[in-house]
Structure 1
Amino acid sequence: MARLDQRHPAGAPGPWFVDSRCIDCDAARHVAPGLIARNPSDGVSVFTRQPATAEEVAMAWRAVLVCPTRSVGHVSERQPPPGVYPHDLGDGVHRLGHNASDSFGAHSYLVVRDDGNLMIDAPRWTRQLVEPIEALGGIAHVLLTHRDDVADADRYAERFDARVWIHADDRAAAPYATDVIDGTEPVEPTEGVVAVPVPGHTKGSVLYHVDGRLLFSGDSLAWDPRREQLTAFRRACWFSWDAQTASLDRFARSGLRFDRLFCGHGWSHDAPAERFHDHLVDLVARMPSWRLTRR
């Protein structure tokens, strides 16, 4: 629950607020763009204005339930309305919200499919998601993109008797995994799903390409809305930047195309497949010149 006594002073006056425990994970900004933004003086999230429409109020509630530190709130309304999450993003993809502090607020997703539903990474465990996930058909496979965003995958897998996939090089984060991806060659966990190993962000990072057009990138690839181009996280590359560059180059040459990008951290985005491919080729060309500098 957000703490009114720690309300950030830079937020817009009114009933909705963000408290000073915000960890700058960006999650609330992704679900409430135009309402919540990064405060330039300290990097945390604040309401830049108060919600003015029913849809904007719904966005604010999504921010409440996505925040891993529970730093977003309303001065008097503490109980969210029903059905905030899972949030239908179209094409069978649902954002699950309830982001975990253990994963630094990474987003997770449920993909509803006739061949069995997929959970991509995991939120924190909450019974608020169990019944809605059941209503959508449960979970057949939990697909983990890398070690950092595992969160409470084990509890969801146990509850729904789901198979759990992770790369061998990150398996220590999910010792309960039923299926282990090895090497750098793509594999198919189930029909229509391609797991593409992309060592770099972590040694065991994986992209999941679903139904020929949906890409779940974990923390290996994201959209930069300010520059309107694809990006990767140089300052959050825990294994090897050279390896990540080579991995994304290999993916760009693979023939796999996507027109919807869903990220763990960073901004998701939709674009025509060929435009995304051009952006990816451009990103790979730019990456070798990125060097860490002291802040």
Structure 2
Amino acid sequence: MKQLHRNDLFSWSAFNEERNLDFHSVLWVRDGGNVLIDPLPLSAHDWQHLHSLGGAAHIVVTNSDHCRATAEIAQATGAKLYGPAAEKQQFPLACDIWLHDHESIVPELVAYQLDGSKTPGELALVLKSTTLITGDLIRCHVGGELCLLPDGKLTDRDKAVRSIKRIASLPAIESVLSGDGWPIFSHGKAALQKLASSL
């Protein structure tokens, strides 16, 4: 795993040839039990790294298309599973906790519900008020520039735009870690506001 802009954040990735971009997963290392977000399969090296950092106590899945290797990793680690409440009836995994809008997952990690994406109630996560972690709706296909999930995959564009503008209004965002594409480690709020103003 690669260390990110904070010494308690790590990521691992897989290149998707169809979309010509990276898919990402995030690990937050914390005293109360580490949190994995949208975990991709782990290599032997990354399993060892995860173990050396204290394993995983919580796994958050932002939407049903990002279940990825969650079941395997949860079985191996005993981690508690969290998913979007709006997908509860059709979610492919049995979650321990279903997350609603503006709900704390663990201290300093808050879930926000995004509407209008390709799945109901997709989650975006805000860590310590400054780092936004996204699933599918907010992406970064070109370095430094955020974009919206393509219109053809949206269930309601107007709702999606309102969701993005709401996230862009959060006052303290500095970094954006997108599930698909590039991370933005600084000037994240400016990138969010630029995206919101373009919609």
TM-score, length-scaled by structure 1: 0.59
In 1: Cα distance, 2:162 partner to 2:74 partner: 32
Amino acid at match of 1:199: D
Q: 1:282 to 1:260 in 2, by over 3 A?
A: closer
Q: 1:100 to 1:176 in 2, by over 3 A?
A: farther
- Between structure 1 and structure 2, the one with the greater Rg is 1
In 1: Cα distance, 2:96 partner to 2:15 partner: 24
Partner of 2:66: 149
Q: How many residues align?
A: 193
Question: Over aligned residues, Cα RMSD in angstroms?
Answer: 2.5
Match of 2:2 among 78, 84, 87: 87
Shift of 1:146: 1.1
Whether 1:232 and 2:148 are equivalent positions in the alignment is yes
Shift of 1:118: 1.0
The structure that is strand-richer by fraction is 2
Whether 1:285 and 2:197 are equivalent positions in the alignment is yes
Match of 2:179 among 257, 264, 286: 264
SS in 1 for 2:134: strand
Partner of 1:52: none
Q: Is the 8 A contact 1:111 1:119 kept in 2?
A: yes
Shift of 1:106: 2.4
Amino acid at match of 2:196: V
Q: Is the 8 A contact 2:154 2:160 kept in 1?
A: no
In 1: Cα distance, 2:47 partner to 2:145 partner: 36
Q: How does 1:102-141 map to 2 (within 5 A)?
A: 106-124=23-41, 126-141=43-58
- Identity over aligned pairs, percent: 20
Q: 1:140 to 1:251 in 2, by over 3 A?
A: same
Q: Is the 8 A contact 2:142 2:181 kept in 1?
A: no
SS in 2 for 1:97: strand
Whether 1:200 and 2:112 are equivalent positions in the alignment is no
Whether 1:175 and 2:87 are equivalent positions in the alignment is no
TM-score, length-scaled by structure 2: 0.84
